Structure 1
């Protein structure tokens, strides 16, 4: 007598997580920004081309988002500015996430003197506002984009190291973690294969929170004339360059300002969705 094997429907086997419409739109926006950052040639016109005769014009067929105070096409500068506006927060998010995870695991897992030294260093940097230090350093050094990123990464660590350290210390005493240690597994294996996977949602949160803050912080520095060279097609710089005409031609200011807000909000929505999906998959296992 042969056994009958029941095959689950394809739809039941491929259970794709539901994506809220707003989150889907956020994902589409991030993809568009990433495409513009990777392929600045998408710009319909030369973003650096100056035409004083067409300065501060409203939307038209030739200029869908109008022009700025120098007659440069706003849409083209938005596309060209996507690279620095996306690259900066991305590097900041990856840098803070990687370093804070390593420090938190070292402090929370090994404890003792290692924890004490890391905690004292973190306490020092926690007492200093990152944006203020970035402004001072950028002003003294001439406002280099790389130096600004390094400062924001260093001073963006404290809060996240503390939170991740607490998560590591909580997971370190779980039964399966103690069993792995009792079995004599190498420390690196216990940490990488047992500990780190349990704090993935926390690590994801660190990246997206840092990315979101990075969008705001770097745009603020660009607005102040720090971090990005004058005339560079950066969204924060575009707002600063055209702020004098905000009441006469709002498009030159509104377009980059809205792009900054949408980038920050989109990253936040995607981050929340990734966290929820990961937590749900863990509960179902």
Structure 2
């Protein structure tokens, strides 16, 4: 093996993610597949009740047993994956698009625009987010889309603050002055030149908001807020399964592990992606 081949081989090995990240990617991929095809994967109807059977321990017919209404726990956990990820994904996408855009504008333009955007973000950020969500969604009696709107509204300030801070560190650099001198519009400078250099922050913020939204959605569902009674939902399963902890612990353990697995895998992937994007930005 010549020197150039050895060097390429070394670079290729270094570019590979760590084992922990590979495992996290595989776990996340499994959940994504289940989210899209949960209805096809579920072995039984998650809403089919058998009151005569009631709560039972895991068996060959029911891999994770049944709940108090005789519904198959394994099927319910699978079918609940889609809604558990869809809502938080929309929240994360909204916060990245709106929050990052506003933070970019505030950090680049400065002046009165920065003051208005920053003060509004600080005001919303100071609110007790979970309490506000509980009150608003509980009073209006809204479903998943109201939950998405409320959680996104409460999450946007973090994206604004993080992106603004990263943009301020870029705004005074020579390449920005050079682009402005060439007569490029502010929008072009911001979105074509500054944004690529703050993408690590935007990416990390989006991943963090995704994880936070998953936990908030589960917490609200646990409190029976923003959900339809009886639907397949991880948080709601935790609430309904409290009385079954000794009869069939899987009713609680399965959705709890699903929440932890998704949150942990996305966090690990987000940290790795941030470090990688930051390293590429420094080159």
Smaller-chain TM-score bracket? over 0.9
Partner of 1:275: 274
Structure 2 segments unaligned to the other structure (5+ residues): none
Structure 1 counterpart of 2:32, from 2, 11, 34: 34
1:11 and 1:28, CA in 2 relative to 1: closer, same or farther beyond 3 A? farther
Partner of 1:12: 8
CA contact (8 A) 1:56 1:252 kept: no
- Report deviation, 1:11: 8.3
Structure 1 counterpart of 2:20, from 14, 19, 22: 22
1:53 match: secondary structure: coil
Give me the whole-angstrom Cα distance separating, in 1, the residues matched to 2:157 and 2:190.
22
Map 1:117-266 to 2 at 5 A: 117-266=116-265
CA contact (8 A) 1:137 1:148 kept: no
Comparing 120-129 and 9-18, the one that deviates more: 9-18
Give me the whole-angstrom Cα distance separating, in 2, the residues matched to 1:168 and 1:55.
57
Give me the whole-angstrom Cα distance separating, in 1, the residues matched to 2:159 and 2:90.
16
CA contact (8 A) 1:68 1:252 kept: yes
Comparing 230-239 and 117-126, the one that deviates more: 117-126
Q: Does 1:64 align with 2:63?
A: yes
Give me the whole-angstrom Cα distance separating, in 2, the residues matched to 1:11 and 1:260.
41
Q: Tell me the C-alpha RMSD between the 2 structures.
A: 1.8
1:249 match: secondary structure: coil
Give me the whole-angstrom Cα distance separating, in 1, the residues matched to 2:18 and 2:48.
41
- Report deviation, 1:28: 1.2
- Report deviation, 1:103: 0.8
Give me the whole-angstrom Cα distance separating, in 2, the residues matched to 1:177 and 1:98.
22
Query: Structure 1 length as normaliser, TM-score?
Result: 0.92
Comparing 33-42 and 16-25, the one that deviates more: 16-25
Cα deviation 1:161-209 (Å, max 9, x = unaligned) = 1121111111011111111111212222211221000000000111111
Partner of 2:109: 110
CA contact (8 A) 1:85 1:234 kept: yes
1:124 and 1:279, CA in 2 relative to 1: closer, same or farther beyond 3 A? closer
Structure 1 segments unaligned to the other structure (5+ residues): 1-5
- Report deviation, 1:219: 0.0
Give me the whole-angstrom Cα distance separating, in 1, the residues matched to 2:17 and 2:66.
37
Q: Which runs of 4+ in 1 moved over 4 A?
A: none
Give me the whole-angstrom Cα distance separating, in 1, the residues matched to 2:234 and 2:49.
18
